Amino acid sequence: MVPYRIHVPQADLDDLADRLDRTRWPDELPGAGWDYGIPLARVRELAHRWRHGYDWRRHEAELNELPQFMTEIDGQAVHFLHVRSADPDAPPLLLLHGWPGSVLEFRDLIGPLTADFHLVVPSLPGFGFSGPTGARGWDQQRIARAFAELMTRLGYARFGAHGGDWGSGIARALGAEVPGRVAGVHVTYLPTPGPLDGLTGQDRERAERTAAFAANRPGYQVLQATRPQTIAYALTDSPVGQLAWIAEKFAEWTDPASVIADDVLLTDVSIYWFTRTAGSSARLAKESGYGAPCPVPMGVAVLPHDIVQSVRPLAERAYDIRHWTELPRGGHFAALEVPAELAADIRAFFRPSVSGGVPG
């Protein structure tokens, strides 16, 4: 494991500027709004900011204020942040992002959580600074095994894991792969399919929405799960293509009341662009299936504007649910939208003095 600092070559910054200047814009139907996808005016606004107002070097320097490292596990580069608590006896905690996220998501959680935890925040293999994967088979289970090895190398025999989106699946896969080492899993995204028998009110409504979502998968999901290589050409060659692909999700999946600054969005997009991981991050959707059940204690935080909301009676049939919170606001990008509330919920689940005995 070696220390790592982000430094995008100036030639890559110049190339980005040149490509943005030469964008070949599509047409748009009058009054289309969001009916056909992210509106042209919004993408033009973001692209103009990216080209003329956004300062990558400033955001790169801010990321480099965090201690970062690089290692190789199972033939794959793994980039991670490792931020130790001032308390030497603090338990270790993995923070796991998803798509189209990155380690950037957790920046506002690191300060609050290091009071209680040693934090390990990896870039998923195939995502961001871990770079593209170089072989088939990098599914959630293989990533989980790689992260278990990472925690071994860091000297952490037992640890907790938190995640949303893919991070939720990988955290649960860790509980299945190395249950004796995982003290607990906390998630903000937990699809709960199952029979509607006996469900009423909000639970039934949520279960019906989940079933409808599963039966009519969004176009991006179908493309990434079936043709990740095909979509990779457009996203790797066109910065505006990559921008629109991700910006649409930030707009659709967040609480309308949330304020995620455009520069935060552009930093996330820039990470995918500079690392050329559009295709490899998409491959995770094709590689991954259903893994073994997660037997370790679980905590769930439900966000009212997430893609789907978990149904507790269905979750309890499949998982050892010890902690359940219905947050009053927030969407799919909980760590960016409601960092204080999320940090408090993670702490409440994992710290025995607060949670009343959940293993920590």
Which tokens sit at 52? 């003329």
How much is the pLDDT for 216? Answer: 84
How much is the pLDDT for 353? Answer: 40
Per-residue pLDDT tens for 49-87? 999 999 999 999 999 999 999 999 999 999 999 999 999
Which residue intervals of the chain are DSSP H helices?
10-21, 40-52, 56-63, 107-113, 140-153, 166-177, 201-215, 219-226, 228-237, 239-252, 262-275, 278-287, 312-318, 334-337, 339-350, 352-355
Name the pTM for this structure: 0.95
In angstroms, how far is CA 233 from the centroid of its own chain? 23
Per-residue pLDDT tens for 35-50? 999 999 999 999 999 9
Of 94-108, 123-137, 283-297, where does mean pLDDT reach its minimum? 283-297
Of 1-5, 111-115, 127-131, 290-294, where does mean pLDDT reach its minimum? 290-294
Q: In what order do the strands lie in the sheet with 76-83?
A: 2-3, 68-73, 76-83, 118-122, 92-96, 159-163, 182-187, 297-302, 320-326
CA angle (206 as vertex; 200, 211 as ends), nearest 5: 110
Q: How far is CA 112 from CA 230, 258, 331, 342, in A?
A: 41, 20, 20, 10
Give domain 2-21+35-355's CATH superfamily: Alpha/Beta hydrolase fold, catalytic domain (3.40.50.1820)
pLDDT-based confidence at 358, cuts 50/70/90?
very low
Per-residue pLDDT tens for 91-113? 999 999 999 999 999 999 999 99
Domain parsing of the chain, residue ranges:
2-21+35-355
Burial of 137 (0-12, 13-18, 19+ CB in 10 A): exposed
Q: What number is the average pLDDT over the span 238-252?
A: 98
pLDDT-based confidence at 195, cuts 50/70/90?
confident
How much is the pLDDT for 194? Answer: 83
The residues near 53 (Cβ < 8 Å, ≥ 6 apart) are none
CB distance 282 to 156 below 8 Å: no
- Is the pLDDT confidence value at 20 over 80? yes
Using CA atoms, how far apart are residues 345 and 348, in angstroms rounded to an integer?
A: 5
- Is the pLDDT confidence value at 145 over 90? yes
How much is the pLDDT for 177? Answer: 97
How much is the pLDDT for 352? Answer: 59
Which tokens sit at 186? 């906390």
**With b meaning 16 or more CB within 10 Å and e meaning fewer, what string describes 12-30?**
eeeebeeebeebeeeeeee
How much is the pLDDT for 196? Answer: 85
Q: Over the Cα atoms of the chain, what is R_g? A: 20
CA angle (156 as vertex; 153, 159 as ends), nearest 5: 130
pLDDT-based confidence at 149, cuts 50/70/90?
very high
Backbone phi, psi, residue 288, to 5° = -90, 140
How much is the pLDDT for 289? Answer: 82
pLDDT-based confidence at 359, cuts 50/70/90?
very low
Secondary structure letter of residue 124 according to DSSP: P
Per-residue pLDDT tens for 327-356? 999 999 999 999 999 999 999 999 854 333
